[in-house]
Every structure is written in structure tokens, then in C-alpha cells.
Amino acid sequence: MAKTQAVRGMNDVLPSETPIWQHLEECFARVVKSFGYSEIRFPVLEQTQLFKRSIGEVTDIVEKEMYSFEDRNGDNLSLRPEGTAGCVRAADQHGLLYNQQQRLWYQGAMFRHERPQKGRYRQFQQFGVETYGMAGPGIDVELMQLSSALWQELGINSHVRLELNNIGDAQERGEYTQALRKFFIDHKSGLDSEALRRLETNPLRILDSKNPSLQSILDKAPLLADFVSDKSKDHFDELLSLLDVAEIDYVINPKLVRGLDYYNSCVFEWVTDALGAQGTVCGGGRYDGLVEQLGGKSTFAAGFAMGAERLVLLLEELTNLRDQLSKRADVFILVRDEDCIGAAQALAKNLRFHLPSRSVVIHYGGGKVSSQLKGAIAAGAQFACILESEQLKDSSSLRLRKLDDVGESTDCFIADVPDKLIKCLL
RNA sequence: GUGACUGUAGCUCAGCUGGUAGAGCCCUGGACUGUGACUCCGGUGGUCGCGGGUUCGAACCCCGUCAGUCACCCCA
């Protein structure tokens, strides 16, 4: 019988990769704490209706990417395809949004049934940040500063760039979409099949076309900027000047349109060229209408989410963190004779007590001392304690070997080992 | 969801026009001294992704299926 394998698009994170994940999680937690954000946790499963109402009925995500099913009660549930909807639901349900400001963060698995590719999986981890109750562009910029601080912390700031756009509110975008549709219908003869398809589904996307023969038409198309209200424009202009003060570089990308309906005003993405087609590492923006749309009180809101897998890929590609973090042991205890195991365990206990931040590993399973030494070096240990039955009985001592290029070794009373190692390792 | 390419030992890969499998690394034993990185010799390990078909005979050809990669699409 064939071995069972992981479900398509779900991937395992192996021990060689988990240190990078832990590093990423620690950095994120540190940055978010330094900005005064609080963690919120909410379920992986929600009513399907929640996602339909927030993300939008006709978006790709709800139309063809959700893991939806009926549970035993006949309720239609879905695995969350993103975090914002669940966060709003949880925060509003518990009164966190009533006449107050909130700065929240979360971390967790999201699910989308897409064709898997590197940097795009059906289960993927997101780190997200959501803020509520703040109207001005200051909070938008804070989100960008926060993400920027994380890139700094991770050492990838020179490999990502900030792109942003002002997409107006839902009504303005609706008017623009209508005008755009009308424009393209008038120029239907010049469109290719892909553009004709998008004319029905999402006319905004025609602007993205890479077909050079469409360029002359596209150049004449109406501009979103002309449909955006003055209020929205002022917000955006103010935001740009704050970004300048904050010394964060950005590119305005007029084609940047996010795939979720709830966004309005300023949206942004951090993108990289190092990951091929999956270049978006972080995306977000304002969604002032969503809380009310989901039955709450009208509340200003802005947030972003970043894809952990993509960040891990970036870190693996651009840094040598993997090697730096690969150490599994500081002290390795080798046993030449099986009857030394009790003494080895007693020594390990003592060392762990005296060196609580260090890792102490005992070799089990016998084998030559030379191959045990190899294992100790492979684990990154700096010291090996070699226990030998005879020496142990005769003098309560062991051989302490330094695992550097020189490899000098000395005899040492067991009772003195902690002191010696404390001197070297603390 | 569409298209292209790939799938052989734990890992990286050979395997010519079909004749039932190989290398390097890793692991392990020995030369070697009871204690590491070099050298040499030996050993473990594969129903060639899975299922059909063609053939006297399939890792190789055909069909299906699963998975991965890349692009489209979409997004984190």
C-alpha cells in the first residue's frame, strides 16, 4: 500500500526550518509589543456568511477558494481564508469596538483552495495587525512603520519595497467601475479574450493586462483618481507627507487594487522581487466600512497581514539564519560504557541546573567514541564530556574535551565540571 | 481553475535507440592508536510516485491518477 502523504497544499515544517519560524515569531512579537499592540485569538472556523459579507460575494476568495462545508447541525461553516473578518467579529462580539480604540495582533493558519506553488499554499500562516477607532492617516502610517520595523529586525529591509494606492470608498469605486466598463464596451473591438472575460468579472483587472497591444486603449481609460472624493484625497496626501517625515520610501502604484471588497481609502503592499510570482509579502489598508457592514457601530479601521511562509522563504534566501540557528546542543555527554548512563544523567541534571539557558544532550545507543564525537559536533556542541566506566570508578572524573579546531581535552572531576563550563559558557 | 515541465536509495542526481538498477553525500564497520574534521577498504539501503495498457520483456513508450516546480490567475 502506498504511503499516505500530506493533503495537497498543506506543508510540514521540518526541524531544519523551525528555528527560522521561531525567530520570525519572536521578532514579530517583539516589534508588535514595542508598538503597544495586544494579542487576540479567534477561531479557525466561522459561519460562511461572515466571509461572504466581509470579503465580498463575487471575489475569487469566496467564489472558488473557500473550504466550506456543512457540519452535523447543518450549519454552513468555512475555514477562515483570512483574519480580518474573524477579528472584527470577535472584537465586536465582545464589545471591544464600542467607543474605544484598539490595537490588536494575531497569528495563525488561513486556508484557501488555490493551485499550490512556491510561496502559495492551501494552509498558510499569517501575522496580522488590526486597529480600530482611529480616523486620521497617522494610524495608516503607523502600520507601515511597524511593518518596516519588522523588516529592519529581520534584516530584509533592502529587499522589500512599499507600494500604495488610494482606492476611494466602495461607492466611488463602484462609480469608477461602471465608467470603466462603459469605456471598455465602447472599445470592445480592441480587447483580447482575457480582457473580455474580465469585463464581466472584474473590469479593474483589465488595467493589469500585460498585452502590449492593449496599451493604447488603456492609456485613454478613465482614472480612479478622478472618481475619488476630496476627503479621501486629503487623507492620502497627508499620509504621504507623514511617510516622508518618517523617512519611509514608497512607490505609488495606481494599479494596486486589493482582492477583498472591504478595503477603502489607502491600501498598501510590501513586495519583493526575490520570490518570483508570489512577491507580495504583506498587504493591508483601511476598511472603515466593515464593522458596520457586519452589524456593528460605524468604526474606523485599518490593518494588514503578512504571509509567514513567504517571509521564511525570504529569510532562507537572503540570510544565513538557518546556519546561525541550527545549534541543538551546547554540551554533549558521551558514554563509552553502558554502565555510565546513570552518572551521565546525574551530570546532565546538574549542568542543566547550573546552565539553565544551555542545552545538554546525552548520547544513547553506544557506538564508537569517535562517531559519538562526530554527532556532538554536528549538533553544534562546544564541549563533550566523555564518561568511561573505569575512570569514573577510580577517580570520579571524566574527560572534558573542547570541540573547537584544537580539540584539547583534560581530565576533570565530575564535581568540578559545572564550574568549568559556567566559566566558558556564561 | 488553465498551460508547461518534473517525480529513480534518507539527500543530490546518472541511467544512451525498451533487456527486471548505479554514483556521490549521509549512516555504519574496519585500516587507527579506546577520543572529531584527511586518506583507503568493506557494509546497510530502491516493488524506479501510484494504477492500468503496449511488449517475449518497461525506470524508459501510451493512458489515467497523485504530488511538486514554473507561468497564468489570484493573493499572504
Q: Do the strands A280-286 and A301-307 form a parallel or antiparallel pair, or are they unpaired?
A: antiparallel
**Who among residues 43-72 of A has its Cβ near strand B, under 7 Å?**
59-61, 64-65
Q: Tens of pLDDT along A304-347? A: 999 999 999 999 988 888 888 888 899 999 998 888 999 999 99
Which one has a higher pLDDT value, A88 or A5?
A: A88
In A 256-315, which Cβ lie closer than 7 Å to strand B? 257-260, 269, 276-283, 305-307, 309-310
- The nucleotide whose C1' lies nearest the CA of A306 is B76
pLDDT band for position A210 (cuts 50, 70, 90)? low
A253 touches strand B (CB under 7 A): no
Residue A116: CB less than 7 A from any atom in strand B: yes
CA of A275, C1' of B73: distance in angstroms = 17
Torsion, Cα A388 A392 A393 A396, to 10 degrees, reads 170
Contacts of A395 (CB under 8 A, 6+ apart): A411, A413
Listed in sequence order, the DSSP H helices in A155-192 are: 170-186
**Nucleotide showing the shortest C1' distance to residue A115 CA:** B1
CA distance A15 to A158: 28
pLDDT tens digits for range A216-243: 788 788 888 888 999 989 999 999 999 9
Instruction: For A18-169+228-321, give the CATH class.
Output: alpha beta
- Residue A95 burial (10 A CB sphere; 0-12, 13-18, 19+): exposed
A23 touches strand B (CB under 7 A): no
pTM: 0.91
DSSP A225: G
Q: Which nucleotides of B are covered by protein (CB under 7 A)?
A: 1-3, 27-30, 34-37, 47, 49-51, 66-76
**How far is the C-alpha of A71 from the C-alpha of A209, rounded, in Å?**
41
Give the domain ranges of chain A.
Answer: 18-169+228-321, 327-425
CATH 3.40.50.800 fits A327-425, yes or no: yes
